[in-house]
């Protein structure tokens, strides 16, 4: 396939914007880049896709999300509104994840994947929980990701909050799925090992997880999202969260820690020393009222900070904007969290993290030999757009509705805003049919803790 008449944003380390260019795709890779004139002459028989002057750029990457939370949209929480994050967990998320069955797991993934395609997010790192539908849950999500045509990194959230039997089932589900991928590799699917958070994990369970995980596989774990995680860890072990995870061998260059809002200086040093990744989710942090992570300090320290959405919409430019604005108001200083810092997280660090799971070719850039994960953006700037000011054009100008075409692994998933791999109307209709059942179960579950 030859994409013609494109204005290419390469997102190389030295970003370039190439006008009236073309991209030749062969299989799931970019084979060649050149001017439209040159490549159309060189490949006269190639099937063409006319970008009509639109910006063509790498698809967005989401470093931390939760497909399983999709049915929370519009759902009422009985009684007084939760006053803090521990209450949000007990009154919303934990009763909801206990309410999911296999069909709900499937459709909660599908509606998120539709959202991702529409908004140009081509790689997603998911963190799943469904305590009453554990066995095979990752296969259900994997099948949905495969059908969508997107890339997905999956894991199951191990926790002790539902008892040791289900904690063991969660361990087994992670290991079973990792073995499945090892035996039958999939070019767009990868796995890691999911952990909820230190506050719901005993030392015995952490030891069991460490013993079970295959060599070279990392973890995906929430860390210090609220002060309660730190206080719980100190009470259990006389160590802060990151120190405790390090003691159990959880950290390292293949492990993702999410949030990190209440780390102290030494915890940040340990992340740097171990090469552990951290993901920032500003919209979720604002919504939960949990605080603001010291992201600029972490970046300055050399921690590999990425950008996720924690289950919010898969329009990642909205997360860019939230990150850009949140740190300014938090510090009451408009100089904080510059556009280049946001770009470092959302583009370069996210791409480096995705490459950990999909190492066969570069990802998140338009270069020869890179994965052909691309989006078309119908943006008409009324000021000069350059490689230098692009972050601010995105933050102040790009809108989620501007994505017109989404391509992953060389396959067109949406063309001119028409979804080609998933039927949005059918998926939404079935999800609406399922939702009352899930909400009823949620009401029964939340009544147990109120």
From the list 234, 190, 235, 186, the residue with the least C-alpha distance to 214 is: 190
Q: What is this structure's pTM?
A: 0.98
Give the residue ranges of DSSP H helices in 312-418: 316-331, 339-343, 350-357, 390-397
> 155 and 126 in contact (C-beta within 8 Å)?
yes
At 450 the pLDDT is 82
Beta strand pairing call for 193-197 and 29-35: unpaired
CB atoms within 10 A of CB 179: 12
Q: List phi, psi (to 5°) of 158.
A: -80, 135
Classified as helix, coil or strand, 130 is: coil
pLDDT of residue 398: 97
* The pairing of beta strand 219-223 with beta strand 256-259: parallel
* Residue recorded with tokens 């259990």: 236
Residue 273, Cβ neighbours under 10 Å: how many? 12
For residues 231, 232, 236, 242, the Cα torsion angle rounded to the nearest 10 degrees is -80
- Cα 46 to Cα 193: distance, rounded to the nearest angstrom: 42
pLDDT profile of the chain (450 residues), mean per 10: 98 97 98 98 97 98 98 95 96 97 98 98 98 98 98 98 97 98 98 98 98 95 98 98 98 98 98 98 98 98 98 97 98 97 98 98 98 98 96 97 98 98 98 98 94
Cβ-based neighbours of 436, under 8 Å, separated by 6 or more: none
């Amino acid at each position: 396939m030859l994409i013609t008449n494109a204005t290419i944003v390469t997102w190389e380390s030295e970003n370039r914007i190439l006008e009236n260019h073309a991209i030749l795709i062969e299989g799931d890779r970019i084979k060649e880049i050149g001017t439209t004139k040159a490549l159309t002459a060189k490949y006269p028989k190639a099937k063409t896709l006319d970008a009509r002057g639109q910006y063509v750029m790498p698809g967005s990457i989401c470093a931390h999300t939760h497909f399983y939370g999709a049915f929370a949209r519009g759902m009422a929480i009985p009684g007084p509104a939760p006053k803090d994050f521990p209450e949000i967990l007990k009154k919303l998320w934990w009763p909801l994840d206990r309410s999911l069955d296999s069909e709900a797991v499937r459709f909660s993934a599908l509606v998120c994947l539709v959202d991702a395609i529409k908004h140009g997010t081509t790689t997603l790192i998911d963190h799943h929980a469904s305590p009453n539908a554990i066995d095979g849950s990752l296969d259900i999500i994997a099948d949905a990701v495969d059908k969508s045509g997107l890339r997905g990194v999956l894991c199951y959230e191990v926790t002790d909050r539902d008892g040791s039997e289900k904690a063991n089932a969660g361990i087994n589900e992670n290991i079973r799925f990792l073995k499945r991928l090892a035996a039958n590799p999939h070019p767009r699917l990868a796995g890691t090992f999911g952990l909820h958070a230190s506050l719901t994990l005993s030392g015995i369970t952490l030891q069991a997880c460490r013993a079970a995980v295959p060599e070279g596989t990392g973890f995906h774990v929430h860390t210090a999202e609220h002060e309660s995680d730190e206080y719980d860890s100190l009470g259990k072990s006389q160590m802060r969260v990151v120190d405790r995870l390090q003691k159990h061998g959880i950290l390292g260059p293949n492990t993702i820690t999410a949030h990190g809002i209440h780390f102290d200086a030494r915890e940040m040093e340990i992340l740097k020393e171990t090469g552990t990744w951290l993901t920032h989710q500003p919209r979720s942090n604002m919504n939960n009222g949990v605080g603001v992570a010291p992201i600029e300090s972490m970046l300055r320290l050399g921690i590999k900070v990425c950008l996720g959405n924690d289950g919010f919409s898969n329009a990642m430019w909205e997360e860019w904007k939230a990150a850009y604005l949140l740190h300014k108001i938090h510090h009451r200083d408009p100089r904080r969290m510059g556009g280049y810092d946001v770009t470092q997280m959302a583009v370069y660090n996210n791409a480096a993290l995705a490459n950990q799971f999909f190492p066969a070719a570069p990802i998140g850039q338009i270069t020869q030999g890179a994965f052909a994960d691309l989006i078309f953006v119908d943006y008409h700037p009324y000021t000069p757009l350059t490689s230098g000011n692009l972050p601010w054009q995105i933050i102040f100008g790009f809108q989620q509705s501007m994505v017109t075409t989404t391509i992953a692994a060389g396959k067109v998933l949406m063309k001119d805003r028409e979804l080609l791999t998933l039927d949005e109307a059918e998926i939404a209709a079935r999800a609406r049919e399922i939702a009352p059942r899930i909400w009823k179960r949620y009401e029964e579950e939340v009544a147990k803790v109120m």
